[in-house]
Chain A
Amino acid sequence: MDLHVIGPLASPAERAAVDAVLGPAESGWHGGRRDSPNEGHVASGGHDARSRRDLLLPALHALQDRVGQITQPGLNYVCRRLSVPPAEAYGVATFYALLSTKPRPPAVAHVCDDIACRLAGAEETCADLERRLGPAGSPGRDGRTTWLRSPCLGLCEQAPAALFTIAGEQPVRETAAPVDAAGIIRRLERTTSASTSGGPGLLGTARASAPQAGEPELRLLRRVGVVDPESLEDYVAHGGFAALRSALAMGAEAVLREVTDSRLLGRGGAAFPTGRKWSAVAAQPAQPHYVVCNADESEPGTFSNRVLLELDPFAVVESMIIEGFATGSSKGFLYIRGEYPLAESRIRGAIDRARAAGYLGASVAGSGFAFDIEVRRGAGAYICGEETALFESIEGRRGEPRNKPPFPVEVGLFGKPTAINNVETMVNVVPILEGGPGGGARFAAIGTEGSTGPKLFCLSGAVARPGVYEVPFGTTLREMLDLAGGVPGGRSIRAILLGGAAGVFVGPETLDTPLTFEGTRAINATLGSGVVMVFDETADMVGTLRRIAAFFRDESCGQCVPCRVGTVRQEELLARLADKVEIRSREEELVLLADIGRAMRDASICGLGQTASSAIESAMRQPELVAL
């Protein structure tokens, strides 16, 4: 391949930003200084450069963070450094919503207008911003600021929320919630990071997201709000790394046995047996094996992973090391969504501290087992939470899901056997192993026969105390709502969204359903990622459905026809029903909607298309939930 690069040269700032990620350019062939007498006419190092293709997304982030957009010269420089064809790199850069290939002011407020934030007035906030700053995307008076709408930022318990990205030498990425238009404008006008002093303290902050924080019977959340997330010593003082020590002592096979005995099922939505996944990877002859932690939590209404990463990051590190040990991997990747700046800095800090203390590196805790973790940041793409799209994204490609089979346990990251788990699934390994042998069976005694262990639920919408709650499996929906203080203002429940935008709407008659995999299946619903979003009698259900339809149209990767076009047709059809534009009878429209949904469910490549009609169709089946 001849690299064909057109256009002017990257600015010094852009080069410096990229070099900070990739190291200095070694020769003129790769964008560095040309040393004619020594370099001659033979290009070398192309293969080495291409083998670092996985650094494409980090390099694009560096450009975006430094100058607020990906310019053509900047992208060209990255292409020469990594020997990536510009057309491909452009295809990658235009895939992610947090990257801009067009001029964009450096300070951007990404204002969440997704379902939970809509319930908390996000549309009013956006209307206010439109009045005061102009339409979304238009530069402010000084040309330095703008605002954009954003899908769910995972701050649903404090809705409405906004993410601020301010490019520069010291780039700022931070979130604010709850926030109104005035607060957004104030933040945009400031150029530095918010000071964190004078807050409500660790436990107070934690209780805003996890109201049970500090309660003694918690397992997954027991350190949340209790330990300093930036202190490894504090983590160890609260029992940290006991599970790792126990794992190293019992050996990899025993760990696999315990995890299998625990009958732990994946918490990300697919509910695959974790023990089976790990054992399958461990048994693969192909080398190396990889561990991937999926922290691309983007399902609207889901924020449990964020809370764990922000408030107990060492537990995530510990469980990744254990998973690496059990599956025979020496390298782990943690892929975190770009909308989680605090969680990212906490997990990066925890990894650095764990490495400094010898829990990561050539010999984990002196055991001789080598393991290390790299963090990769997403760039605004819900689809990258799909495991194979996540691999593609890490590998420096567009986040387009692969066809399965082959499954990741055989052909995963970089084509190698890969154990990939969601953050919540992983941290369950800590309580399974910390009691030593027999921990799996003890874990399996919690919960129900088909759904073992504790489970985190994300409560949002019309509840008095939204937040992430930990309960043993088997707790009913009603008990869950009571835990969160019920519906405020004595209003009645109209609908509950289980499992997020890819989930199912249920009515108040299902309140006594136990929230287990089998219990939700029995009412044709799903646990999904543990979303319980409550809509009271005043909620705008039609608007909610339209937002969900718009969400899937925005987030479809566009690879396969059923999802790429189906999500568009679904949104158009809902708009016709909602705006009472008749081109055929309502009954015929519903038949068409069902046809669209069925084709997406049956023929799409991945879970996004397969579930893109799920919530909408479930609502349309229940006329008492939504009048359309």
Chain B
Amino acid sequence: MTHDPHHVPAPELPPPGLVYTTPAGRATHTPEAPRRELPPNVSLQIDGVAVSVPAGSTILDACRAQGLDIPTLCYLENLTPVNVCRVCVVEVKGSRVLAPACSRKVEEGMDVETESERVRHSRKVVLEFLGSSVDLSLAGQQVPNGDAARYARRYGADPGRFGPPADGAGAHERDDRDPGHHHSPVGEEAVLAATVEQPVKVDNNLYVRDYSKCILCYKCVEACGEDAQNTFAIAVAGRGFDARISTEWDAPLPDSACVYCGNCIGVCPTGALMFKSEFDMRAAGTWDESAQTTTSTICPYCGVGCAVDLHVQDNTIVKVTSPMDSTVTEGHLCIKGRFGFEFTNERRRG
């Protein structure tokens, strides 16, 4: 076939379920983004392979560009890396300790090992530490980062090595603990591994906080604060093993500064923060992800045009998310987009 410069290709049909507000064919001119100087490339070795990536990339960026599967839990593409879970650690030759891939920037001549014995050991033990102290049953089902069960299998993590879990704390008991003071285990108490187990906090109709599942990844704090919502309703309180996510004075959410944007739910990697609708369905045994469909659309409420994914089960919206790669939302929504779907579930009677 000869090349015809005037040939306009037929517009591709959108995938089923996707709704476009502007037919693709109607667009005539797409303005070009202003040209930006590309940063110079940096050369380094990853697992013995020479790679070249733009300066300013993290080791994780470089590894993922190579198709390497580096485990992450506290990392999320749309938040500032906090490098606290330490499951992404890699070995940088010449470095005394392991480095977090998610935040360590590449340097010229760096020699990185991503699966050395030392790396595997730390990842395994870190996963055991988490598995023995936190309920990871839902970790990894919310977002691409954080499939704890898969990582645990890969590294042979056995959280049971530290003993069966100790009894959980009572409601608000962990929130009441004093920094710098703890009860030291004595005798038989030491057989059981201390955990963060505690009752679920249900204090409003929109979402619940199950801190038994909290790995303290700081993502919700970032999303509530500087990285997205700028509300600062929650922060890390307490210290050491008793550190926890808390509103001021452990106040119930309705009394706090929370604006119910739900962006904390959107970034939670372990299911600790959950739509009340999902929580109730799980409790009733009716939550069934295999029976759910996802419809991508645009939030109808205002002119911003946020991309929303409606998760539908039995013809009922059960939760709303936003794709992280949406240039409008970067995965974040407001209370209306996140929770304002209840009316669609109201069936007209009679």
- A residues with CB within 8 A of B: 1-2, 4, 6-7, 72, 75, 85-91, 94-97, 100-102, 137, 148-149, 151, 380-381, 398, 403, 405, 546, 550, 553-562, 564-569, 571-573, 575-576, 579, 581, 583, 592, 595-596, 598-599, 601-605, 610
Chain B proximity of A363: nearest CB distance (Å): 40
CB-based contact A599/B122 at 8 Å: yes
Extra contacts besides A90-B235, A562-B122, A565-B129 (16): CB < 8 Å: A1-B232, A87-B235, A88-B235, A91-B235, A91-B246, A94-B238, A94-B239, A102-B176, A398-B236, A562-B125, A573-B190, A575-B186, A579-B186, A581-B191, A602-B122, A610-B97
Complex alpha-carbon distance, A560 and B85, angstroms:
6
Would you mind naming 5 contact pairs between A and B with Cβ atoms under 8 Å apart?
A1-B230, A90-B246, A96-B179, A561-B85, A575-B187
Complex alpha-carbon distance, A571 and B89, angstroms:
25
- B residues with CB within 8 A of A: 83-87, 89, 97-98, 100, 103-105, 118, 121-122, 125-126, 129-130, 132-133, 161-163, 176, 178-182, 184-191, 193-194, 215-216, 225, 230-243, 246-249, 251, 255-257
Q: Which residues of A contact B251 (CB under 8 A)?
A: 6
Instruction: Please list the 3 inter-chain residue pairs (A to B) with the smallest Cβ-Cβ separation, ordered nearest first.
Output: A558-B243, A97-B180, A85-B232
CB-based contact A603/B122 at 8 Å: yes
Complex alpha-carbon distance, A554 and B83, angstroms:
22
Q: Which residues of B contact A87 (CB under 8 A)?
A: 232-235, 237, 246-248, 256-257
Chain B proximity of A49: nearest CB distance (Å): 14
Q: Which residues of A contact B100 (CB under 8 A)?
A: 403
CB-based contact A556/B240 at 8 Å: yes
Which of A75, A557, A592 makes the CB contact (< 8 A) with B161?
Answer: A592
Complex alpha-carbon distance, A148 and B247, angstroms:
27
Which of B118, B132, B233, B235 makes the CB contact (< 8 A) with A569?
Answer: B132
CB-based contact B190/A572 at 8 Å: yes
Q: Which residues of B contact A605 (CB under 8 A)?
A: 83-84, 86
CB-based contact B97/A95 at 8 Å: no
Which of A137, A381, A556, A603 makes the CB contact (< 8 A) with B89?
Answer: A603
CB-based contact B85/A86 at 8 Å: no
Complex alpha-carbon distance, A546 and B190, angstroms:
12
CB-based contact B232/A94 at 8 Å: no
CB-based contact B178/A100 at 8 Å: yes
Chain A proximity of B237: nearest CB distance (Å): 4
Which of B105, B215, B236 is the most central at the interface, judged by chain A CB atoms within 10 Å of its CB? B236
**Nearest chain-A residue to B118 (Cβ)?**
A602
Q: Provided the pairs A564-B240, A605-B83 are in contact, do residues A596 and B125 lie with their beta carbons within 8 angstroms?
A: yes
Q: Which residues of B contact A573 (CB under 8 A)?
A: 190
Q: Provided the pairs A561-B85, A572-B193, A581-B191 are in contact, do residues A91 and B236 lie with their beta carbons within 8 angstroms?
A: yes
Q: Which residues of A contact B162 (CB under 8 A)?
A: 569, 572, 592
Chain A proximity of B106: nearest CB distance (Å): 12
CB-based contact A561/B231 at 8 Å: no
CB-based contact A555/B240 at 8 Å: yes
CB-based contact A151/B180 at 8 Å: yes
CB-based contact B180/A89 at 8 Å: no
Q: Which residues of A contact B104 (CB under 8 A)?
A: 403, 405
Q: Which residues of B contact A554 (CB under 8 A)?
A: 179-182, 239-240
Q: Which residues of B contact A581 (CB under 8 A)?
A: 187-188, 190-191
Complex alpha-carbon distance, A352 and B205, angstroms:
57
CB-based contact A565/B121 at 8 Å: no
Q: Which residues of A contact B247 (CB under 8 A)?
A: 87, 90
**Nearest chain-B residue to A547 (Cβ)?**
B184
Complex alpha-carbon distance, A380 and B240, angstroms:
13
Which of A1, A568, A576, A603 makes the CB contact (< 8 A) with B191?
Answer: A576
Complex alpha-carbon distance, A149 and B105, angstroms:
43
Q: Which residues of B contact A97 (CB under 8 A)?
A: 178-181, 239
Q: Provided the pairs A91-B235, A398-B236, A403-B83 are in contact, do residues A564 and B216 lie with their beta carbons within 8 angstroms?
A: yes
Complex alpha-carbon distance, A576 and B105, angstroms:
42
CB-based contact A583/B163 at 8 Å: yes
Complex alpha-carbon distance, A380 and B133, angstroms:
26
Q: Which residues of B contact A583 (CB under 8 A)?
A: 163, 191
Complex alpha-carbon distance, A567 and B104, angstroms:
25
Q: Which residues of A contact B239 (CB under 8 A)?
A: 94-95, 97, 381, 554, 556-558
Q: Which residues of A contact B105 (CB under 8 A)?
A: 405
CB-based contact A4/B233 at 8 Å: yes
Which of B89, B256, B257 makes the CB contact (< 8 A) with A602?
Answer: B89
Q: Provided the pairs A95-B239, A562-B122, A571-B185 are in contact, do residues A555 and B86 lie with their beta carbons within 8 angstroms?
A: no
CB-based contact B184/A575 at 8 Å: yes
Q: Which residues of B contact A555 (CB under 8 A)?
A: 180, 240
**Nearest chain-B residue to A569 (Cβ)?**
B162
**Nearest chain-B residue to A556 (Cβ)?**
B240
**Nearest chain-A residue to B164 (Cβ)?**
A583
Chain B proximity of A92: nearest CB distance (Å): 8
